[in-house]
């Protein structure tokens, strides 16, 4: 009897393994939720909806973008971290915005970077500084000299404490000996409106959010915080060219809850690569000013850990 029971249990285990393997191999068998922690119409939302359209074509299943806002993104990220790791809830991880919500000791948050399975980075959107087009300051060097002469006089609007725009300001204050009057807003849309309305002197934002305004001569981008010039702003120098090695960007990548099985990571990654490499996706991304920067799972996590340490140092967390 004991031997028979052992045979039955062994058979059951094999059947279970076969069923699990088959289910994983069949991913996705139903619609997938794609969490965006910011509101509809923003840069991440636009990026996510573009990706969702491609994934639906590739997989034949619906990818539903769900905007879960609040808590500087952590209402949505907490929902992602706590979801079942079965491949049917994925979401965008926004770096460096993710870090402030758990690195800052005041937050007392239990989730952290290890709460997620990084799948792939999708977009790299460098930070910029811009002025109104009719501003008397026509170059970054000229503007920096003016700010040095009158510390605290110049106002700069940006999106979010601890976000990439804010970190860029702190880094330049340290590097160039500047002092700003910083205006924090809930969105770049508000910050851009403040600049265009003449309510602030300077805007800290990202390339995709302003390149059309620059082309239309509504505002003037003075510098890009990347290692090389942006293809969307080829006439604009980098901060590095002008003597300040300030490199900051908003990176948007796809993640899932921690513990996502490799059997699901693999087909999900393959689907993402197929979409991102498609001419249709690349052309649409170009129109939106989105610089595609595909970084696979292991390298993506390594990048996030390095950035985490950099922010700890800068913010004193």
Q: What percent of the chain has pLDDT over 70?
A: 92
pLDDT of residue 273 exceeding 90: yes
pLDDT of residue 294 exceeding 80: yes
Is residue 163 within a helix (H) or strand (E), and if so which, with residue range?
A: none
Q: Return the higher-pLDDT residue of 274 and 41.
A: 274
Are 307 and 100 contacting, i.e. CB atoms less than 8 angstroms apart?
A: no
pLDDT of residue 7 exceeding 60: no
Please state the domain extents for the chain: 27-124+250-315, 126-249
Q: CA 275 to CA 232: how far, in whole Å?
A: 22
Q: CA 307 to CA 110: how far, in whole Å?
A: 20
Alpha helices in 83-206 (DSSP H): 97-103, 140-149, 164-176, 188-196
What are 188-226's pLDDT values in tens digits?
889 999 999 999 999 999 999 999 999 999 999 999 999
Q: CA 64 to CA 260: how far, in whole Å?
A: 19
* Class of the CATH-defined domain 126-249: alpha beta
Within this chain, domains 27-124+250-315 and 126-249 share the same CATH topology: yes
Global confidence as pTM: 0.81
DSSP sequence for 79-90: HHHHS-SSSSEE
pLDDT of residue 283 exceeding 70: yes
What are 21-47's pLDDT values in tens digits?
444 458 999 999 999 998 888 788 999
CA distance readout (Å), 63 to 47, 50, 75, 137, 193: 13, 11, 20, 46, 33
Q: Enter the CATH code of domain 27-124+250-315.
A: 3.40.190.150
pLDDT of residue 1 exceeding 50: no
What are 222-239's pLDDT values in tens digits?
999 999 999 999 999 999
SS3 18: helix
């Amino acid at each position: 009897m004991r031997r028979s029971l052992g045979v039955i249990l062994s058979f059951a285990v094999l059947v279970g393994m076969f069923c699990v393997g088959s289910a994983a191999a069949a991913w996705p068998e139903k619609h997938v939720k794609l969490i965006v922690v910011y509101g509809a119409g923003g840069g991440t939302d636009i990026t996510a909806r573009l990706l969702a359209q491609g994934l639906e074509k590739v997989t034949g299943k619906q990818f539903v973008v769900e905007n879960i806002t609040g808590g500087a993104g952590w209402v949505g990220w907490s929902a992602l971290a706590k979801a079942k790791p079965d491949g049917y809830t994925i979401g965008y991880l926004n770096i460096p915005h993710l870090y402030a919500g758990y690195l800052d000791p005041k937050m007392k948050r239990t989730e952290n970077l290890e709460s997620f399975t990084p799948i792939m980075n999708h977009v790299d959107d460098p930070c910029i500084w811009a002025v109104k087009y009719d501003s008397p300051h026509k170059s970054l060097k000229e503007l920096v000299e003016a700010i040095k002469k009158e510390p605290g006089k110049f106002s700069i609007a940006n999106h979010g404490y601890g976000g990439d725009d804010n970190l860029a300001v702190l880094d330049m204050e340290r590097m160039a000996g500047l002092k700003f009057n910083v205006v924090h807003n809930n969105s770049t849309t508000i910050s851009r409106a403040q600049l265009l309305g003449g309510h602030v002197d300077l805007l800290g934002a990202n390339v995709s959010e302003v390149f059309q305004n620059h082309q239309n001569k509504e505002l003037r981008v003075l510098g890009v915080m990347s290692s090389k010039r942006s293809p969307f702003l080829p006439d604009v120098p980098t901060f590095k060219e002008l003597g300040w090695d300030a490199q900051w960007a908003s990176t948007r990548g796809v993640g899932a809850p921690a513990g996502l099985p490799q059997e699901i990571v693999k087909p999900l990654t393959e689907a993402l690569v197929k979409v991102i490499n498609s001419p249709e996706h690349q052309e649409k991304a170009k129109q939106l000013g989105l610089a595609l920067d595909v970084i696979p799972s292991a390298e993506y996590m390594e990048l996030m850990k390095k950035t985490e340490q950099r922010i700890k140092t800068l913010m004193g967390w």
